[in-house]
Amino acid sequence: MIAAVLALRDVRRRYSDGYALDVPSLDVFAGEILGVIGPNGSGKSTLLRILGLLERPDAGQVIVGGRAVDARDALAERRRMATVFQEPLLADASVADNAGLGLRFRGVPAAEAAPRVARWLERLGVAALAGRAARTLSGGEAQRVALARALVLEPEVLLLDEPFSGLDAPTRAALVTDLGAILRADRVTTVLVTHERGEAQALADRVAVLMDGRLRQLDDTARVFYAPVSEEVARFVGVETLVAGRVLGREAGVTAVEVGGRVLEVAAVAAAGARVRVGIRPEDVTLTVAEGARVASSARNALDGTVTRVSASTHATHVLVDVGFPLVAAVTARSVNELGLRPGARVRAVFKASAAHLIPA
């Protein structure tokens, strides 16, 4: 068992408005990127502040490098970490001065700090701004400087609190890519708090789902997204089809589940007769024309149905199909045209046995 670089044990934090955080155990291992996702107000930021020794829990321990520490008297431990927040608040000084702030706090001589600062501004793509006044930067530039001033400290744990939330979509996408590359190349131990599940999916090795102050699931990223443990978690990680079903039995390596009068073939194992919820991610469902020959495909499930709703969003168009139960598919704008997807249209929905996930009802 590898020792955690940072851990929480029986941590509780209560606020007067009734909101509470309750985390029996959480470990952050060296070199991993741990995503903490959850809706707004679920306690993610509080959790991160407690991890960063910026706030004391009412009960429980924060363990840094195997030793329990008290946030009131933990300057040395606090200096082993660095946090970047949603809003990059920079000091009224030059970009380079801002990036060197943490090194100055640690008493690193200016001659030694300058090349380190220059290198990190370079890695974050803001070297050209070094001499600029920090207050004149755009939001994206400022966040890159804020990341540089944290990364230049080479923290044992980098804590990120919604670092991309304040940015517009193209800026955010570029920063997620650049930061991901840096974190992986340097194997920076990172805790990333975000309400955008896509960011966690893109960056995290493991994901913790926090809801109402409690950890609902903590597992490898793929497991959380493709095998959520509860309906609530499933909804939050983007499983849009969630329907009640009954397990008929298992045969030839697949489980037959009856849902809304249709029989689905599901890869997951479950006992015959069990009541379950079947979860399917919209991007795992393909729509084709209903008529014609069977589509040659490894997909086990092909259900004909009628389109009941088409809703376009920024990323993809979601199509609700009645196949005996409501099934959501994500399609491209091109498919909407080519297949003539509109309410009333007949389509065939296809998905693999492995795309359907069973949650105990």
Partner 1 sequence: MDLLAAGVREALRLLVSGDAEVVAILLLSLQVSGAATLISLVLGIPAGAALALLRFPGRTLVVSAVNAGMGLPPVVVGLFVTLLLWRSGPLGAWEILYTPAAIVLAQAVIAAPIVMGITLAAVQNVPEKFRLQLLALGASRTQMVGVVLREARLPMLAAVMAGFGGIISEIGASMMVGGNIKGQTRTLTTAMVLETGKGNFEVAIALSLLLLVLVFGVNWALTAIQQRRVW
CA distance 258 to 245: 5
Residue 106 touches partner 1, criterion: CB under 8 A:
yes
Q: Which stretch binds partner 1 (CB under 8 A): 72-80, 200-208, 239-247, 316-324?
A: 72-80
What are the distances in angstroms from CA 338 to CA 289, 329, 333?
10, 15, 9
**Which residue type, as a one-letter code, is found at position 228?**
P
Residue showing tokens 């397990």: 247
Handedness of CA 54, 21, 151, 81 (dihedral sign): positive
Shortest reach from residue 7's CB to partner 1, in Å? 19
Distance of CA 183 to the CA centre of its chain: 15
**Count, residues near partner 1 per rule CB under 8 A:** 23
Shortest reach from residue 54's CB to partner 1, in Å? 6
Q: Which stretch binds partner 1 (CB under 8 A): 75-83, 118-126, 191-199, 337-345?
A: 75-83
Shortest reach from residue 228's CB to partner 1, in Å? 32
- Helix residue spans in the chain (DSSP H): 44-51, 75-78, 95-99, 101-105, 110-123, 139-151, 169-186, 197-203, 221-226, 231-236, 333-338
Binders in 41-60 for partner 1, by CB under 8 A: 49, 52, 54
Q: Is 60 helix (H, G, I), strand (E, B) or coil?
A: strand
Q: Which stretch binds partner 1 (CB under 8 A): 26-34, 36-44, 71-79, 327-335?
A: 71-79
Q: Which helix (H) or strand (E) holds 342?
A: none
Residue 1 touches partner 1, criterion: CB under 8 A:
no
Residue 83 touches partner 1, criterion: CB under 8 A:
yes
Residue 211 touches partner 1, criterion: CB under 8 A:
no
Residue 85 touches partner 1, criterion: CB under 8 A:
yes
Which residues of the shown chain bind partner 1 in the complex (CB under 8 A)? 49, 52, 54, 75, 78-79, 81-83, 85, 87, 89, 91-92, 101-102, 105-106, 146, 149-150, 153, 159
